[in-house]
Structure 1
């Protein structure tokens, strides 16, 4: 018989969090207590805010239902490891929909994981490679969890940073928010040494560490961290206009290009024209255009036309057979049928 009431309540809660109805007799057998004790423990859980629903019947049954608020969850070892691995895999890539809330959840979970489970999580992640749809750089989940912890705790954060041109510096910041753009993670923070707000690409951060020094939150110049980041990126971004003519109908081209590329317009001669502006590298736009699978001609800017020609030449070289490839092709061509 389990005489430790807190331990028994946790065990009971863990059972009830399984999506099924538990007969009172079965719960009593699992906990090795009387049905009367089970009923008292159910009442204690309700007092703690857990919405436990009871059903009438010969044996009676109990089920944990959705409530207005979410009381603390109880996870067994396997569940905790599975959730941590999933959160770490998602946090390591700026995948659309995996935002700061997910990183905060990961930070909280890893903070309370026993050392033996943290080791299992790290081992599993090292042995697997996620296939993500994001094309942004990968990030060590530990970097995000350290940052998320300092954001939540209003604690100064120190880290090394590498600028776009490769120059290195050390920063002391008051972190405000982590923001995901779908391709990258950014930290919006107040730079103490520069006495101004800054945005930092998290994939350029190394060695983040909490200083233990608390700070009073400052007022952000704009209403939200996301808006501040958007304005910051727009100020730094070099944009250019482009015009591309496709030898294919607008409907076909539109289906093969991302919406951010713009909306092609039919030219009345069976083709279409795509006009737009972008701040992405021209090499990136050249690849997007090539992946459309449609013949096209770049009418501007000249730099984009140069990128397309260079990409075409590179692909031509990559597709040409070297001596080894030519030998394989000759062997396949001369091999008798049936072998």
Structure 2
């Protein structure tokens, strides 16, 4: 039971920040007080200008709403450490967030207790990040944050989506999961108009709008969002076809190739096929170079022409 008022108020604020909505009975049970005490503590938070809303429905409840300014976050030791490390790692990973991420990290580290500051420093000193030149599309952080909220709150959204052919169409979906792969972010959602699961690249989403309509989450086919998205990416239409039959078992090839695991299939004793098809010729050549074994290639002529050019350059360089 939390009898000390300041400690109880901090605990109450922390609970309100961890979930979208709490019933009065749940809060009372967590704090070890009566629902009447919870109501008084909620009123105290409101007097301190924390935007706590009361909700209607069976038994009612409370939630921390958006206000004029963000209230102080209450983090435990593990949460604070994880946040600091994540901010340090994430700096520069999303368009427009490099400087903002570093400012947030500076604020957090300034107030960390000494025992946590040393933990974070040790983690940062023992890790490093290699920054590669980014040539592909990058995700808008506002879109990523809005979709993360919609997935968490089970709220339908609408947006304009640009397909791989350049066509733009309106979509109305129930967002379930965000999946990162190969430098891109994907949204796994159930399309309300087509009544079917769909995968959308976040860099192709514009005009994102929450609908304030709640939905009941559906089970993802196969039970694993990442595996489902990987399988769909592997089977998506591409510009260039390239299938390699490798003279090694599939498991050995999986350990050293850049190809998606779902694109590597057994093809008899000691052999497998690797689907290297894609929209980017240098990327196809990179996957083939990483196979690490002899292979036969069934590919479009554009792929073969590119490989011949790459091979001639390599031979010339080798003297």
TM range (shorter): 0.3 to 0.5
Highest Rg: 1 or 2? 1
Relative to the length of structure 2, the TM-score reads: 0.48
Relative to the length of structure 1, the TM-score reads: 0.45
